[in-house]
Structure 1
Amino acid sequence: MPKIFSLFFLFVLLISCDEDVLPKPKAYLSLEYPKKSYKKLPLKRPYTFNVLKNTTIIDDKNNWLKIKYPTLKASIDITYRPIQNNMKELLTEAEKLVFKHAVKAEQIIPKDFVNTKNRVFGSLYEITGNAASQLQFHVTDSTHHFIKGSLYFYAKPNYDSILPAVAYIKSDILHLIETLEWKKSI
Protein backbone atom coordinates (compact mmCIF):
# COMPACT_ATOMS: atom_id res chain seq x y z
CA MET A 1 0.00 0.00 0.00
CA PRO A 2 2.75 2.52 0.78
CA LYS A 3 4.27 1.73 -2.62
CA ILE A 4 1.03 2.60 -4.44
CA PHE A 5 0.64 5.79 -2.39
CA SER A 6 4.23 6.82 -3.23
CA LEU A 7 3.67 6.19 -6.95
CA PHE A 8 0.37 8.10 -6.88
CA PHE A 9 2.03 11.02 -5.09
CA LEU A 10 4.93 11.04 -7.58
CA PHE A 11 2.47 10.92 -10.51
CA VAL A 12 0.45 13.88 -9.13
CA LEU A 13 3.62 15.82 -8.48
CA LEU A 14 4.91 15.33 -12.02
CA ILE A 15 1.58 16.26 -13.64
CA SER A 16 1.07 19.37 -11.54
CA CYS A 17 4.52 20.81 -12.22
CA ASP A 18 4.33 21.34 -15.96
CA GLU A 19 4.68 25.19 -15.71
CA ASP A 20 7.26 27.22 -13.90
CA VAL A 21 5.92 29.30 -11.04
CA LEU A 22 7.02 32.91 -11.39
CA PRO A 23 6.42 35.80 -9.02
CA LYS A 24 3.84 38.30 -10.20
CA PRO A 25 5.30 41.51 -11.61
CA LYS A 26 5.05 44.61 -9.47
CA ALA A 27 2.08 46.79 -10.24
CA TYR A 28 2.62 50.45 -11.05
CA LEU A 29 0.01 53.13 -10.70
CA SER A 30 -0.76 54.50 -14.14
CA LEU A 31 -1.54 58.18 -13.86
CA GLU A 32 -1.81 60.43 -16.86
CA TYR A 33 -1.54 64.17 -16.49
CA PRO A 34 -2.35 66.73 -19.17
CA LYS A 35 0.49 67.92 -21.36
CA LYS A 36 1.91 71.14 -19.91
CA SER A 37 1.28 74.47 -21.55
CA TYR A 38 1.83 77.78 -19.78
CA LYS A 39 0.46 81.31 -19.98
CA LYS A 40 1.39 84.62 -18.33
CA LEU A 41 -0.42 85.39 -15.09
CA PRO A 42 -3.53 87.26 -16.29
CA LEU A 43 -3.82 89.52 -13.21
CA LYS A 44 -2.19 92.88 -12.53
CA ARG A 45 0.28 92.37 -9.73
CA PRO A 46 3.66 93.79 -8.67
CA TYR A 47 4.98 90.52 -10.12
CA THR A 48 4.30 88.24 -13.06
CA PHE A 49 5.11 84.63 -13.88
CA ASN A 50 3.87 81.80 -16.05
CA VAL A 51 1.10 79.49 -14.81
CA LEU A 52 -0.21 76.23 -16.19
CA LYS A 53 -3.09 76.88 -18.61
CA ASN A 54 -5.42 74.25 -17.13
CA THR A 55 -5.33 75.79 -13.64
CA THR A 56 -7.85 78.21 -12.17
CA ILE A 57 -6.53 81.50 -10.80
CA ILE A 58 -8.44 82.93 -7.84
CA ASP A 59 -7.80 86.62 -7.19
CA ASP A 60 -7.46 87.70 -3.57
CA LYS A 61 -6.82 90.96 -1.77
CA ASN A 62 -3.35 92.37 -1.03
CA ASN A 63 -1.98 90.92 -4.30
CA TRP A 64 -2.45 87.38 -3.00
CA LEU A 65 -3.79 84.58 -5.18
CA LYS A 66 -4.60 80.90 -5.33
CA ILE A 67 -3.61 78.68 -8.24
CA LYS A 68 -6.08 75.77 -8.19
CA TYR A 69 -5.59 72.35 -9.78
CA PRO A 70 -9.22 71.16 -9.86
CA THR A 71 -8.51 67.65 -11.19
CA LEU A 72 -5.80 67.07 -8.57
CA LYS A 73 -7.77 68.70 -5.73
CA ALA A 74 -4.79 70.89 -4.92
CA SER A 75 -3.76 74.52 -4.87
CA ILE A 76 -0.70 76.72 -4.61
CA ASP A 77 -1.45 79.56 -2.22
CA ILE A 78 0.57 82.68 -3.01
CA THR A 79 1.00 85.52 -0.52
CA TYR A 80 2.67 88.79 -1.40
CA ARG A 81 4.15 91.34 0.99
CA PRO A 82 6.07 94.49 0.17
CA ILE A 83 9.40 94.82 1.94
CA GLN A 84 9.38 97.77 4.33
CA ASN A 85 12.51 97.33 6.43
CA ASN A 86 11.10 93.94 7.49
CA MET A 87 13.10 91.48 5.37
CA LYS A 88 14.39 89.54 8.38
CA GLU A 89 10.85 89.23 9.77
CA LEU A 90 9.49 87.98 6.40
CA LEU A 91 12.24 85.36 6.04
CA THR A 92 11.79 84.20 9.65
CA GLU A 93 8.02 83.90 9.18
CA ALA A 94 8.44 81.95 5.93
CA GLU A 95 10.86 79.50 7.53
CA LYS A 96 8.65 79.09 10.60
CA LEU A 97 5.80 78.03 8.32
CA VAL A 98 8.05 75.45 6.67
CA PHE A 99 9.39 73.98 9.90
CA LYS A 100 5.92 73.95 11.46
CA HIS A 101 5.48 70.77 9.37
CA ALA A 102 8.55 69.12 10.94
CA VAL A 103 6.34 67.18 13.37
CA LYS A 104 4.79 65.12 10.53
CA ALA A 105 7.66 65.43 8.05
CA GLU A 106 10.17 62.69 7.46
CA GLN A 107 12.58 65.11 5.81
CA ILE A 108 12.72 68.76 4.72
CA ILE A 109 14.90 69.28 1.66
CA PRO A 110 15.83 72.90 0.79
CA LYS A 111 16.85 74.14 -2.64
CA ASP A 112 18.09 77.71 -3.15
CA PHE A 113 17.46 79.88 -6.22
CA VAL A 114 19.50 82.81 -7.47
CA ASN A 115 18.64 84.69 -10.65
CA THR A 116 20.64 87.91 -10.53
CA LYS A 117 19.40 89.05 -13.96
CA ASN A 118 15.74 89.18 -12.81
CA ARG A 119 16.64 89.80 -9.14
CA VAL A 120 14.87 86.64 -7.96
CA PHE A 121 16.34 85.04 -4.85
CA GLY A 122 14.67 82.37 -2.78
CA SER A 123 14.27 78.81 -1.58
CA LEU A 124 12.04 75.83 -2.30
CA TYR A 125 11.41 73.34 0.52
CA GLU A 126 10.30 69.81 -0.29
CA ILE A 127 8.63 68.25 2.74
CA THR A 128 8.45 64.46 2.64
CA GLY A 129 6.03 62.51 4.80
CA ASN A 130 2.40 63.07 5.75
CA ALA A 131 2.67 66.83 6.31
CA ALA A 132 -0.13 69.22 5.40
CA SER A 133 2.02 70.91 2.73
CA GLN A 134 4.60 69.04 0.64
CA LEU A 135 6.14 72.05 -1.12
CA GLN A 136 6.75 75.56 0.15
CA PHE A 137 8.80 78.37 -1.31
CA HIS A 138 9.65 82.01 -0.91
CA VAL A 139 11.20 84.44 -3.38
CA THR A 140 12.25 88.06 -3.13
CA ASP A 141 14.13 90.79 -4.95
CA SER A 142 15.67 91.61 -1.51
CA THR A 143 14.59 95.27 -1.63
CA HIS A 144 10.89 95.69 -2.50
CA HIS A 145 8.99 92.39 -3.00
CA PHE A 146 8.46 89.15 -1.08
CA ILE A 147 6.34 86.15 -2.19
CA LYS A 148 5.55 83.05 -0.16
CA GLY A 149 3.93 79.99 -1.74
CA SER A 150 2.56 76.73 -0.32
CA LEU A 151 1.14 73.62 -1.98
CA TYR A 152 -1.94 72.11 -0.33
CA PHE A 153 -4.11 69.12 -1.23
CA TYR A 154 -7.78 68.99 -0.26
CA ALA A 155 -7.44 65.55 1.27
CA LYS A 156 -5.88 63.87 4.28
CA PRO A 157 -2.13 63.81 3.62
CA ASN A 158 -0.91 60.39 2.52
CA TYR A 159 2.50 61.06 1.01
CA ASP A 160 2.80 57.81 -0.94
CA SER A 161 -0.54 58.39 -2.66
CA ILE A 162 -0.01 62.03 -3.62
CA LEU A 163 3.68 61.74 -4.57
CA PRO A 164 3.03 61.66 -8.38
CA ALA A 165 0.84 64.78 -8.10
CA VAL A 166 3.46 66.51 -5.96
CA ALA A 167 6.10 65.83 -8.63
CA TYR A 168 3.75 67.15 -11.34
CA ILE A 169 3.06 70.39 -9.45
CA LYS A 170 6.69 70.77 -8.33
CA SER A 171 7.73 71.28 -11.95
CA ASP A 172 5.09 74.05 -12.22
CA ILE A 173 6.43 75.75 -9.09
CA LEU A 174 9.97 75.57 -10.49
CA HIS A 175 8.66 77.07 -13.75
CA LEU A 176 6.88 79.80 -11.77
CA ILE A 177 10.11 80.73 -9.97
CA GLU A 178 12.17 80.60 -13.18
CA THR A 179 9.75 82.90 -15.05
CA LEU A 180 9.10 85.31 -12.17
CA GLU A 181 9.63 88.98 -12.94
CA TRP A 182 9.06 91.95 -10.66
CA LYS A 183 7.16 95.00 -11.91
CA LYS A 184 8.10 98.54 -11.00
CA SER A 185 4.47 99.54 -10.42
CA ILE A 186 1.00 98.08 -10.79
Structure 2
Amino acid sequence: MKKFSVVIILAVFLFSCGNEIVPKPKPYLTLKYPISSYKKIETNCPYSFEISNLANINFKNNCWASIEYPQLKATIHISYRKVEGNLNEILKEIEKLTFEHTIKADAIPDYRPFENLDEKVFGKLYNIEGNVATNIQFRVTDSVKNVLSGALYFYAKPNYDSIVPAIKYLEKDIIHLIETLEWK
Protein backbone atom coordinates (compact mmCIF):
# COMPACT_ATOMS: atom_id res chain seq x y z
CA MET A 1 0.00 0.00 0.00
CA LYS A 2 2.88 2.30 0.83
CA LYS A 3 4.47 1.68 -2.59
CA PHE A 4 1.15 2.34 -4.31
CA SER A 5 0.83 5.75 -2.55
CA VAL A 6 4.35 6.71 -3.55
CA VAL A 7 3.62 5.78 -7.18
CA ILE A 8 0.44 7.88 -7.22
CA ILE A 9 2.21 10.89 -5.72
CA LEU A 10 5.04 10.58 -8.26
CA ALA A 11 2.52 10.23 -11.09
CA VAL A 12 0.70 13.38 -9.94
CA PHE A 13 3.95 15.34 -9.87
CA LEU A 14 5.09 14.07 -13.26
CA PHE A 15 1.83 14.70 -15.09
CA SER A 16 0.72 17.87 -13.30
CA CYS A 17 3.52 19.97 -14.71
CA GLY A 18 3.02 20.47 -18.39
CA ASN A 19 4.89 22.56 -20.90
CA GLU A 20 1.93 24.82 -21.45
CA ILE A 21 3.00 28.43 -21.72
CA VAL A 22 0.45 30.89 -20.45
CA PRO A 23 1.10 34.54 -21.37
CA LYS A 24 0.91 37.16 -18.70
CA PRO A 25 -2.01 39.55 -19.11
CA LYS A 26 -1.12 42.92 -20.61
CA PRO A 27 -0.96 45.55 -17.84
CA TYR A 28 -2.69 48.90 -18.22
CA LEU A 29 -1.77 52.08 -16.45
CA THR A 30 -4.56 53.31 -14.20
CA LEU A 31 -4.38 56.92 -13.14
CA LYS A 32 -6.75 58.08 -10.47
CA TYR A 33 -7.23 61.79 -10.06
CA PRO A 34 -9.07 63.31 -7.12
CA ILE A 35 -12.55 64.67 -7.63
CA SER A 36 -12.28 68.42 -8.05
CA SER A 37 -13.86 70.91 -5.74
CA TYR A 38 -13.66 74.57 -6.58
CA LYS A 39 -13.09 77.92 -4.92
CA LYS A 40 -14.02 81.34 -6.23
CA ILE A 41 -11.13 83.68 -6.96
CA GLU A 42 -11.91 87.34 -6.32
CA THR A 43 -9.40 89.84 -7.66
CA ASN A 44 -8.91 93.53 -8.33
CA CYS A 45 -9.00 92.59 -12.01
CA PRO A 46 -12.11 93.03 -14.16
CA TYR A 47 -12.99 89.34 -13.86
CA SER A 48 -13.49 86.52 -11.36
CA PHE A 49 -13.80 82.76 -11.76
CA GLU A 50 -13.50 79.48 -9.89
CA ILE A 51 -10.45 77.21 -9.86
CA SER A 52 -9.75 73.78 -8.42
CA ASN A 53 -8.74 73.50 -4.77
CA LEU A 54 -5.74 71.50 -6.01
CA ALA A 55 -4.39 74.56 -7.85
CA ASN A 56 -2.50 77.66 -6.75
CA ILE A 57 -2.95 80.98 -8.51
CA ASN A 58 -0.51 83.86 -8.86
CA PHE A 59 -1.43 87.24 -10.34
CA LYS A 60 0.74 89.83 -12.04
CA ASN A 61 0.12 93.59 -12.09
CA ASN A 62 -1.48 93.50 -15.53
CA CYS A 63 -4.14 90.96 -14.41
CA TRP A 64 -2.29 88.08 -16.03
CA ALA A 65 -2.28 84.92 -13.94
CA SER A 66 -0.71 81.51 -13.57
CA ILE A 67 -2.81 78.65 -12.26
CA GLU A 68 -0.36 75.99 -11.12
CA TYR A 69 -1.05 72.31 -10.50
CA PRO A 70 2.07 71.18 -8.62
CA GLN A 71 1.05 67.50 -8.45
CA LEU A 72 0.57 67.35 -12.23
CA LYS A 73 3.51 69.63 -13.04
CA ALA A 74 1.19 71.77 -15.15
CA THR A 75 0.29 75.45 -15.40
CA ILE A 76 -2.54 77.31 -17.08
CA HIS A 77 -1.22 80.70 -18.16
CA ILE A 78 -3.94 83.36 -18.32
CA SER A 79 -3.57 86.58 -20.30
CA TYR A 80 -5.90 89.54 -19.94
CA ARG A 81 -6.35 92.24 -22.55
CA LYS A 82 -8.51 95.33 -22.34
CA VAL A 83 -10.41 96.03 -25.55
CA GLU A 84 -9.97 99.54 -26.87
CA GLY A 85 -11.73 99.35 -30.23
CA ASN A 86 -9.42 96.52 -31.28
CA LEU A 87 -11.42 93.37 -30.43
CA ASN A 88 -10.95 91.76 -33.86
CA GLU A 89 -7.18 92.37 -33.76
CA ILE A 90 -6.87 90.77 -30.32
CA LEU A 91 -8.98 87.74 -31.30
CA LYS A 92 -7.02 87.23 -34.54
CA GLU A 93 -3.73 87.44 -32.63
CA ILE A 94 -4.90 84.80 -30.13
CA GLU A 95 -6.16 82.53 -32.91
CA LYS A 96 -2.86 82.95 -34.77
CA LEU A 97 -0.99 81.73 -31.68
CA THR A 98 -3.27 78.69 -31.53
CA PHE A 99 -2.76 77.74 -35.16
CA GLU A 100 1.01 78.16 -35.01
CA HIS A 101 0.91 74.67 -33.48
CA THR A 102 -0.23 73.13 -36.78
CA ILE A 103 3.41 72.42 -37.64
CA LYS A 104 3.76 69.92 -34.76
CA ALA A 105 0.11 69.07 -34.10
CA ASP A 106 -1.47 65.85 -35.29
CA ALA A 107 -4.84 67.60 -35.39
CA ILE A 108 -6.70 70.67 -34.18
CA PRO A 109 -10.32 69.53 -34.15
CA ASP A 110 -13.07 72.10 -34.27
CA TYR A 111 -13.22 74.38 -31.29
CA ARG A 112 -15.75 74.04 -28.51
CA PRO A 113 -17.88 77.21 -28.29
CA PHE A 114 -19.09 78.77 -25.03
CA GLU A 115 -21.89 81.27 -24.68
CA ASN A 116 -23.45 82.66 -21.52
CA LEU A 117 -25.73 85.53 -22.46
CA ASP A 118 -26.59 86.39 -18.83
CA GLU A 119 -22.93 86.94 -17.86
CA LYS A 120 -21.90 88.12 -21.37
CA VAL A 121 -19.26 85.39 -21.68
CA PHE A 122 -18.44 84.20 -25.19
CA GLY A 123 -15.54 81.89 -25.86
CA LYS A 124 -13.79 79.09 -27.68
CA LEU A 125 -11.75 76.17 -26.38
CA TYR A 126 -9.26 74.39 -28.65
CA ASN A 127 -7.88 70.89 -28.04
CA ILE A 128 -4.59 70.51 -29.89
CA GLU A 129 -3.64 66.88 -30.42
CA GLY A 130 -0.03 65.78 -30.71
CA ASN A 131 3.38 66.53 -29.25
CA VAL A 132 2.93 70.29 -28.93
CA ALA A 133 3.88 72.77 -26.24
CA THR A 134 0.28 73.44 -25.24
CA ASN A 135 -2.59 71.01 -25.78
CA ILE A 136 -5.45 73.24 -24.65
CA GLN A 137 -5.95 76.90 -25.48
CA PHE A 138 -8.98 79.05 -24.90
CA ARG A 139 -10.23 82.58 -25.23
CA VAL A 140 -13.18 84.32 -23.63
CA THR A 141 -14.58 87.81 -24.17
CA ASP A 142 -17.53 89.99 -23.29
CA SER A 143 -17.34 91.33 -26.89
CA VAL A 144 -17.01 94.91 -25.62
CA LYS A 145 -14.25 95.59 -23.07
CA ASN A 146 -12.42 92.43 -22.03
CA VAL A 147 -10.58 89.42 -23.45
CA LEU A 148 -9.14 86.59 -21.40
CA SER A 149 -7.04 83.88 -23.04
CA GLY A 150 -5.27 80.89 -21.63
CA ALA A 151 -3.02 77.98 -22.46
CA LEU A 152 -2.18 74.76 -20.64
CA TYR A 153 1.50 73.84 -20.32
CA PHE A 154 3.21 70.83 -18.74
CA TYR A 155 6.73 70.92 -17.33
CA ALA A 156 7.81 67.97 -19.43
CA LYS A 157 8.86 67.15 -22.96
CA PRO A 158 5.67 66.84 -25.02
CA ASN A 159 4.58 63.21 -25.26
CA TYR A 160 0.90 63.36 -26.10
CA ASP A 161 0.11 59.69 -25.52
CA SER A 162 1.48 59.84 -22.00
CA ILE A 163 -0.22 63.06 -20.89
CA VAL A 164 -3.69 62.58 -22.41
CA PRO A 165 -5.23 61.53 -19.06
CA ALA A 166 -3.85 64.66 -17.38
CA ILE A 167 -5.03 66.82 -20.28
CA LYS A 168 -8.56 65.43 -19.99
CA TYR A 169 -8.52 65.92 -16.22
CA LEU A 170 -7.41 69.56 -16.52
CA GLU A 171 -9.78 70.22 -19.43
CA LYS A 172 -12.76 69.89 -17.10
CA ASP A 173 -11.17 72.44 -14.73
CA ILE A 174 -10.63 74.84 -17.64
CA ILE A 175 -14.24 74.38 -18.75
CA HIS A 176 -15.36 75.07 -15.18
CA LEU A 177 -13.23 78.23 -15.14
CA ILE A 178 -14.88 79.44 -18.36
CA GLU A 179 -18.39 78.54 -17.17
CA THR A 180 -17.92 80.41 -13.87
CA LEU A 181 -16.22 83.48 -15.38
CA GLU A 182 -17.88 86.76 -14.43
CA TRP A 183 -16.92 90.18 -15.72
CA LYS A 184 -16.95 93.11 -13.29
Q: How far apart are residue 154 of structure 1 and its match? A: 0.8
Counting only pairs closer than 5 Å after superposition, residues 31-50 of structure 1 correspond to structure 2 as 31-50=31-50
Q: How far apart are residue 27 of structure 1 and its match? A: 1.9
Q: Secondary structure at the match of 2:26?
A: coil
Aligned match of 2:8 = none
Q: CA RMSD for the aligned pairs?
A: 1.8
Aligned match of 2:175 = 174
Task: State the distance in 2 between where 1:181 and 1:84 align.
Answer: 20
Aligned match of 1:165 = 166
Q: How far apart are residue 22 of structure 1 and its match? A: 5.1
Task: State the distance in 2 between where 1:155 and 1:24 align.
Answer: 32
1:102-130: CA deviations, max 9, x gaps?
A: 11100112111111111111100000000
Task: State the distance in 2 between where 1:144 and 1:22 align.
Answer: 66
Segments of 5+ residues of structure 2 without an aligned counterpart are: 1-13
Segments of 5+ residues of structure 1 without an aligned counterpart are: 1-11
Q: Secondary structure at the match of 1:75?
A: strand
Q: Secondary structure at the match of 2:129?
A: strand
Task: State the distance in 2 between where 1:119 and 1:167 align.
Answer: 26
1:56-113: CA deviations, max 9, x gaps?
A: 1111121110000001110000000011111111111111110111111001121111
Aligned match of 2:80 = 80
Aligned match of 1:16 = 18
Aligned match of 2:105 = 105
TM-score for the superposition, normalised by structure 2: 0.86
Contact persistence 2:83–2:144 (CA under 8 A): yes
Aligned match of 2:27 = 27
Q: Secondary structure at the match of 1:121?
A: strand
TM-score for the superposition, normalised by structure 1: 0.86
Residue identity (%): 51
